[in-house]
Amino acid sequence: MQRKLATIMVADVVGSTPAMETDEESALTRVAACLKTVADMVARYDGRVFNTAGDAVLAEFSSPVNALRASMEARNAIAAVPGATVFDIRFGLHLADVAVFGDDLRGDGVNVAARLQSTADAGAIDVSRAVYEQVRRVTPCSFEEIGERNLKGISEPMQVYRVGQTTDRHRFQTAPTRNATLITAKPNSVAVIPFSTSSSADQDQLFLAEGLTDDLTLELGRLKSLFVSSRSASTALATGNPVEVGKALGVHYVVIGSVRKLGTAVRLNIALAETEYGHVVWSDRVQRLFDEILDVIDEITARVAATVAGRIEQAEIVAARLKRPENMSAYEYYLIGLDHHRLIGVADHHIAEAMQWFEKSMEADPSFARPVTMHVCAWSALPGFDRDTGELRVAHALELDPTDPESHRVMGALKMMGGDYATSSHHHERALDLAPNEAYLIGRCAAFYTFAGDPLRALDLLDRAETLDPFLPVWITEERVAALYALARHEDMCAVADALPFQTRRTLIYQMAARIAGGDVDRARKLVLQALALDPSLSAEYITMQELFRDKSIIDELVERACAAGLPRTAVEIQQVS
């Protein structure tokens, strides 16, 4: 019997039977339109419908992420089907080994997905723990932990998670922005592949490997003589083959490393390979005490830089080097906090956990600047965030390390929130000077220039960021949407928004405003329905909170156009409608 691992999606139209008793023809038309919408999204995300049952569609995906995205997009699209709402559909998703019978799939895995769907609330997407573990880091949504559920015909209770509203700023959302096969390698270019560990590595080694990869990427990126592909670009690739990495990222060299922690010692194997044939240009093995490992990274940075870029003055390396923590336990605390910080938006508990780990890092080493800034970043996700206090804390981080580009960027963002665009400009420019090759930071800085009244500069920065990194997070690539809107290039803006792998509340708001500006009221209203499907509590108040244009007339115009499309003006209006 042939078997395979697959993500099973079961989608069912809710309440079709009683609807047919009232108006059979209308109900049949609506059900058919809903099922076609689901089937279209399955195909769009590389899935396959393998069976139908009554008013249900059963589909398989090789990728759990694609299965989830197809479910979310299908639910949103159904909001625009005449006579339908998001509550007319529900989904169940499960990852399992299933049996293949011709074009059909059978087995316990299919049954679990069907039971998850049948017990889900109308409009809900319920997933098993197996799916949740695979998608939680790389999807644009939060999850609600429902708990264990006893499913009919399934002997063991299943841990169930429900897909919540989308999050606009998830570090792991990615959107390919360049065709990898067309990228031309740049001179003096290098990518750092995520350091590997043994298959039995404990969590400390995993954090250490990730931290060392980040540090080496950032240190190399601070050398203006090098073109360095960003960390997220290298992570997004499913290969460590130097030739394939070179073709995908357009780099001449690849740094490959592995980390092994043996008691108090750390063994680091590292190699520099060229990407034309994959030959190793230089390699080394270093074993040091754990407390000395940061010095090893400085040595490796210098040696790789010398190999790739030729003669680089040691003084430039020293000037570009980030200040290092004196206490390795502080560094470990920071890495764990960073891991939780990157999951903020997936589940609320990551905010508190990130802040706690950053606090431990600060206590262990008060001279370590990075956790101070990141603590403010995590805190800003909470309703009680105090901007003035946040500014004081980031100012302290800059006193500890004036060369930290991320601290300058965060300070710039805080100043912009307070309306001080002149000071904000200074910090954003300083961040760009300190990290000229860090694609993520460049993309984040682009938002400032759009808001400050220079959208052309923002587009230039986004071009630069996307050249460095073809796998930027969506909430960076969508900054192009805001910049094009500010330039009144509405058709270009809609084309960019449509090309994103999924829509956020923000991109939908800009699209509905652009459609109103172009006189397409019908399309604008459908976009409102899609936006409310993502977040039923969405109102124009979101615009005034999130969009920080220096020219307030742009915000006023955006609000008026969105409301003209049908977006509620306030949360009170939503309550009155409901």
**CA torsion 104→110→111→117, rounded to 10°?**
-110
Residues β-bridged to residue 7: 61, 95
**Is residue 176 predicted with pLDDT exceeding 90?**
no
Domain boundaries, the chain: 3-166, 180-322, 478-578
Q: What are the tokens at 138?
A: 């790389």
Question: Fold identical between 3-166 and 180-322?
Answer: no
More confident residue, 285 or 93: 93
Q: How far apart are CA 47 and CA 55, in angstroms?
A: 19
**Is residue 235 predicted with pLDDT exceeding 80?**
no
Note the pLDDT of residue 185: 65
Q: Where are the alpha helices (DSSP H) in 277-386?
A: 293-309, 314-320, 328-341, 349-364, 370-379
Q: For residue range 34-63, what is the model confidence (pLDDT) as tens digits?
A: 999 999 999 988 899 999 887 899 999 999
Q: Dump strand ranges (E) for 131-185.
A: 141-149, 158-166
Note the pLDDT of residue 307: 45
More confident residue, 457 or 406: 457
Q: How far apart are CA 436 and CA 441, in angstroms?
A: 9
Q: For residue range 347-397, what is the model confidence (pLDDT) as tens digits?
A: 678 889 999 989 998 998 899 898 999 999 999 988 889 999 999 999 999
Note the pLDDT of residue 297: 66
pLDDT band at 5 (very low <50, low <70, confident <90, very high): very high
Q: How far apart are CA 276 and CA 164, in angstroms?
A: 45
Residues β-bridged to residue 166: 141
Note the pLDDT of residue 154: 79
| Greatest extent of the chain over all pairs of C-alpha atoms, in Å | 81
Fold for the domain defined by 478-578: 1.25.40
**Is residue 229 predicted with pLDDT exceeding 50?**
yes
- Determine whether 176 is exposed, middle or buried from the number of CB atoms within 10 Å of its CB (0-12, 13-18, 19+): middle
Fold for the domain defined by 3-166: Alpha-Beta Plaits (3.30.70)
If you classify domain 180-322 with CATH, what class do you get? alpha beta
Q: How far apart are CA 190 and CA 330, in angstroms?
A: 29
User: pTM for the whole thing?
Assistant: 0.71
Q: For residue range 465-482, what is the model confidence (pLDDT) as tens digits?
A: 887 666 677 778 899 999
Least confident piece of the model among 136-140, 498-502, 547-551: 136-140
Q: Do 126 and 116 touch, CB atoms closer than 8 A?
A: yes
More confident residue, 291 or 241: 241
